[in-house]
Structure 1
Amino acid sequence: MPAPNSISSDKLVRLIALAGSPRILDLRIDPAVVIPGSVFALAADGVEAAIDEPVVVVDDDGSSAAAAEAAILRSDGVPAEILEGGFSTWRDAGLPTVSLAHLPPRHPDGRTWWVTRARPKVDRIACPWLIRRFVDPHARFLFVGTGDVLGVAAHEQAEPFDVSDERVFWSHRGERCTFDIMVEAFGLGTHEPLMRLAAIVRGADTDRLDVAPEAAGLLAISLGLSRSHGDDHKQLEAGMAIYDALYRWCRDARGEKHNWSSHQPTKAKSAEVSA
């Protein structure tokens, strides 16, 4: 029987990287690898100071440390559970993890800061989606003129991405786009839904619409989204919903068909209703 106020890895894996997923609070000290979307110890002056969403507390093995933190959160009115067996159970089950080896340093506000070119189209919306859903839910993104990216990066200690400059780690390499590089560098290259999504993004972003049948649709939506928003941050927020939907399709909806009759009641059911 599951322990009270706990959640299994099998259940949690169905919730990660979704718009309404619980906050995953990792209590381990300086972990190198984490569950996607994890945040870390509460900081009085950081983004974790106020919690207004359900929390799953993670430690090494689901011990009393996690139980204590979850109990404290519940005493403050925050719905909180612990991950059964902790991170070791998640890892041993071969579930998706994120490597923090290439994560840029956090700012005093608890966030990682990133900077890229203004007026995003494909990669510059896809990459922030990946970062916020899998790497740092509170990441801050700055959009500036192309010639200002590296200067702003240095001035604000923000990580540049999707810039054509050999000094920038997060950029295109050969036929791969920046999204591909991020999926690989964050250790997510074995997560099949993301690999499917990466092919769609690559095709749309590099004018190789033959890579995936859905690439042409993503390109059309991306260009329309760009023309619908004059504010890059509003465009990003709208784009998050697009990539949430694409990710869910890549994860568990690819086999579903749709036409005029696919969702109509069968004749037998129709006869039962009429009777």
Structure 2
Amino acid sequence: MSAINALSPDKLARLIGTPACPVLVDVRIDEDFNADPRLIPGAIRRSHREVAEWAPGFSKRTVVAICRRGHKLSEGVAAWLRHAGASANILEGGIETWAKEGRPLVPVSKLPARDPQGRTVWVTRARPKIDRIACPWLIRRFVDPSALFLFVSASEVEAVGERFGAVAFDIENVHWSHRGELCTFDVMVEEFGLELEPLKRLATIVRAADTARLDLSPEAPGLLAASLGLSRMYSDDLEQLEAGLGLYDAFYRWCRDATDETHNWPSHKAKVKAKA
């Protein structure tokens, strides 16, 4: 029997990667976490022992508490969160069931250190077009919803990263960058353990648009056109990023749910009444 306020792995999987995804809080004890140091995409770690201290920070938000098997730890944390004003659920079966079903898990070893506010901080070249919007979208939706992005002059990316504790991406000679024929988005999908079919399909579109190989995907010219249009609509890189998140939300949902759907006009022809 499912616990009260339990969310099934299948339902959670449908929410991850979308703007409607709840806050995911992994509350496994250290022993369980160290035995499998991976996180459900977008999850953050918190100690159940300190829940009374951190729970008020999630007031009026929707939260899913995750422990090893979906029993006492997540149930207790969810109860505390509800007491603090959150709408809290638990993950049915915990992370153990999630893993057994072959669902994606992000290796913690791949995640950058977080700043004092608990955010990962990234830095790249200013005036983004494709990869430098696609990668922040992937990070925000599947890795760290609170991630912060700095856009600076190309010549200063690495120096800014060193001075401000930010991870450089999509420039030459850094870890998170193009590799062979792969673009940075491809690399992140692979290294973060996010090789889901919709994301692999989206990665092909991004790679085709970002590397001028539009023949790789019939959707790539559309992404290129929309990306270049956004870059001309916004002079502020952060405003462009916020607008671009919606663009990639739409492409992701097409990749996940709508690749077989077609559209024509008129889609529903009115029936012609027969003459008397």
TM-score normalised by structure 2 residue count? 0.91
In 1, the alpha carbon distance for the partners of 2:184 and 2:55 equals 27
Asked whether the 8 Å contact 1:47–1:138 carries over to 2, the reply is: no
Pair 1:236 & 2:241 matched: yes
Aligned to 1:225: 230
Asked whether the 8 Å contact 1:46–1:110 carries over to 2, the reply is: no
Map 1:195-206 onto structure 2 (within 5 A).
195-206=200-211
The residue type paired with residue 11 of structure 2 is K
TM-fit CA distance, 1:48? 8.8
Identity of aligned residues (%): 54
In 2, the alpha carbon distance for the partners of 1:220 and 1:68 equals 49
Pair 1:133 & 2:141 matched: yes
| 1:27-74 CA distance string (max 9 Å, x none) | 124562111111221789999934432111100111211101000111
In 1, the alpha carbon distance for the partners of 2:54 and 2:85 equals 20
Which deviates the most, 251-260 or 195-204? 251-260
In 2, the alpha carbon distance for the partners of 1:21 and 1:89 equals 19
Name structure 2 gaps, 5 residues minimum. none
The count of aligned residue pairs is: 265
Distance 1:171 1:71, change over 3 A: same
Which deviates the most, 40-49 or 138-147? 40-49
CA RMSD of aligned residues (A): 2.0
* Greater fraction helix: 2
Aligned to 1:252: 257
Pairing partner for 1:192 from 191, 197, 206: 197
Pair 1:169 & 2:175 matched: yes
Aligned to 1:178: 184
Map 1:135-150 onto structure 2 (within 5 A).
135-150=143-158
Pairing partner for 1:78 from 86, 89, 94: 86
In 2, the alpha carbon distance for the partners of 1:201 and 1:230 equals 22
Name structure 1 gaps, 5 residues minimum. none
Pair 1:207 & 2:215 matched: no
In 2, the alpha carbon distance for the partners of 1:121 and 1:149 equals 16
The residue type paired with residue 161 of structure 1 is F
In 1, the alpha carbon distance for the partners of 2:216 and 2:54 equals 42
Asked whether the 8 Å contact 2:38–2:108 carries over to 1, the reply is: yes
Aligned to 1:24: 24
Pairing partner for 2:95 from 83, 87, 91: 87
TM-score normalised by structure 1 residue count? 0.91
* DSSP 3-state at the match of 2:104: coil
In 1, the alpha carbon distance for the partners of 2:129 and 2:252 equals 18
The residue type paired with residue 144 of structure 1 is V
TM-fit CA distance, 1:13? 1.0
